[in-house]
């Protein structure tokens, strides 16, 4: 649906609504109860098929259906896959091979070990201060296959219902998902996909909030600096005590008030073609020097093209290059051809 123009996305003709769960309390792991009828239909369509008419050959044939994957955000990923998406084993792909630490000041789980996926001769592997203070010599683990996951979750005794008392399961395997009722599900290489629009929105809000130092949105706070000190990296950003006040040294991405005005003015004076995105000028507050009320599609366009225009004259080259690479990554992820 995201590939359609905005004036067509919300029309009845292009809505594909198979299931809607309303209300403030989502079902969590009990989502399988709602999906049971759908899974039964998919299983029947795979094994027996349904008669369909081929308009080109002018003949009737037996059409069979295969569910390739689901597309969802990360919390829903955990509900549909039966795997954990939080905690020390919060990666549903590498599960027990996930590297994670808990930040004592930020009180969050931080997932490390990303450099394992670089080639062995990559220059990032030898950089200590830029990452976690150590050289990376490990190799990327192999993701678990569907057969391996099924073997693990079959051992779990899970009962549906809010009033049921299930044993607290430690680790990444929470329950056997209802999708394994499909005979081919364990053989698929990709079973669940993440919706890029959700990720783009989260990343965009974090970048904008940090650059413009928006209260409640910035990721550059006292706890972040204290965690860097504890990890022994970026020592130049260590908080400084001056009397009764704590001073945070500016980072390479810190903008002055005048630079914030330049960025906000760039957004406030942008004119885009009709149907390209919403009116960006309506999202800018020049009084507070912040962007607010951004929808998913607004963040999508900011990360694809508009952010690079706004920051081209206010940040050091190394910071601009880093943000450019992030935007290029999302741009490639959204291409119609790989």
Residue pair 29/158 in contact (Cβ under 8 Å)? The answer is yes
Choose the weakest-confidence range: 1-15, 51-65, 72-86, 305-319.
1-15
170 pLDDT band, cuts 50/70/90, is: low
Q: What is the mean pLDDT of the chain?
A: 88
The CA distance from 241 to 247, in Å, is 6
Residue pair 278/297 in contact (Cβ under 8 Å)? The answer is yes
Quote the radius of gyration of the chain (alpha carbons, Å): 24
DSSP bridge pairs for 192: 70
- Give the pLDDT confidence score for residue 48 in this predicted structure: 93
pLDDT score of 203 more than 90: yes
Residue pair 275/6 in contact (Cβ under 8 Å)? The answer is yes
- Give the pLDDT confidence score for residue 201 in this predicted structure: 92
Choose the weakest-confidence range: 15-29, 113-127, 234-248.
15-29
DSSP bridge pairs for 59: 54
Report the percent of the chain where pLDDT is more than 90. Answer: 41
Distances (CA, A) of 95 to 82, 98, 143: 12, 6, 8
pLDDT score of 223 more than 80: yes
Nearest CA-CA partner of 330 in 294, 291, 300, 309: 300
- Give the pLDDT confidence score for residue 18 in this predicted structure: 65
Q: What are phi and psi of 200, to 5 degrees?
A: -60, -40
CB atoms within 10 A of CB 234: 17
- Give the pLDDT confidence score for residue 22 in this predicted structure: 64
Residue pair 177/81 in contact (Cβ under 8 Å)? The answer is yes
CB atoms within 10 A of CB 113: 19
Taking only the tens place, the pLDDT of each residue in 68-88 is 999 998 888 988 998 988 888
Q: What share of the chain is helix, strand, coil (3-state, %, to 5)?
A: 40, 10, 50
Taking only the tens place, the pLDDT of each residue in 93-148 is 888 888 888 999 988 998 888 899 999 999 999 988 778 788 888 888 888 899 99
What is the pLDDT averaged over residues 18-29? 71
The CA distance from 45 to 283, in Å, is 47
The CA distance from 312 to 321, in Å, is 10
19 pLDDT band, cuts 50/70/90, is: low
The CA distance from 102 to 205, in Å, is 23
Strands 240-242 and 192-194: unpaired
What is the pLDDT averaged over residues 209-232? 90
- Give the pLDDT confidence score for residue 112 in this predicted structure: 84
- Give the pLDDT confidence score for residue 293 in this predicted structure: 87
Choose the weakest-confidence range: 44-48, 161-165, 265-269.
161-165
State the distance between the two ends of the chain, measured CA to CA, in whole angstroms: 19
Tokens encoding 161? 């219902």
**Within 13 Å of residue 158, how many CA atoms lie on the same side as its CB?**
20
The CA distance from 261 to 213, in Å, is 12
Residues whose CB falls within 8 Å of the CB of residue 263, separated by 6 or more in sequence, listed in order: 211, 212, 255, 310, 311, 314
- Give the pLDDT confidence score for residue 21 in this predicted structure: 65
Strands 70-72 and 192-194: parallel
Instruction: Give, for 285, the enclosing helix (H) or strand (E).
Output: strand 284-285
């Amino acid at each position: 649906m995201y590939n359609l123009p905005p004036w067509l996305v919300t029309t009845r003709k292009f809505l594909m609504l198979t299931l809607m769960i309303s209300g403030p309390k989502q079902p969590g792991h009990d989502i399988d109860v709602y999906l049971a009828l759908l899974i039964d239909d998919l299983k029947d369509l795979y094994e027996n098929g349904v008669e369909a008419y081929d308009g080109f050959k002018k003949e009737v044939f037996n059409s069979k259906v295969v569910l390739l994957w689901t597309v969802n955000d990360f919390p829903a990923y955990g509900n549909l896959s039966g795997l954990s998406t939080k905690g020390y084993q919060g990666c549903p792909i590498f599960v027990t091979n996930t590297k994670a630490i808990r930040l004592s000041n930020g009180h969050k789980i931080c997932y490390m070990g990303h450099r394992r996926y670089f080639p062995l001769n990559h220059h990032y592997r030898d950089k200590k201060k830029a990452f976690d203070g150590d050289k990376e010599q490990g190799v990327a683990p192999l993701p678990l296959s569907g057969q391996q996951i099924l073997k693990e979750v079959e051992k779990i005794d899970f009962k549906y219902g809010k009033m049921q008392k299930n044993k607290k399961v430690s680790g990444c395997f929470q329950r056997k998902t209802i999708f394994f009722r499909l005979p081919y599900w364990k053989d698929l290489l990709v079973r669940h996909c993440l919706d890029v629009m959700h990720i783009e929105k989260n990343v965009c809000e974090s970048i904008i909030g940090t650059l413009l130092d928006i209260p409640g949105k910035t990721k550059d706070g006292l706890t972040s600096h204290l965690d860097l000190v504890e990890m022994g990296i970026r020592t130049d950003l260590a908080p400084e005590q001056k009397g009764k006040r704590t001073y945070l040294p500016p980072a390479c991405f810190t903008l002055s008030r005048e630079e914030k005005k330049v960025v906000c003015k760039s957004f406030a004076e942008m004119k885009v073609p009709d149907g390209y995105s919403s009116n960006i000028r309506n999202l800018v507050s020049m009084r507070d020097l912040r962007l607010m009320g951004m929808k998913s599609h607004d963040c999508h366009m900011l990360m694809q093209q508009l952010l690079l225009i706004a920051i081209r004259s206010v940040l050091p080259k190394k910071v601009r290059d880093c943000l450019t690479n992030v935007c290029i990554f999302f741009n490639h992820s959204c291409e119609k051809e790989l």
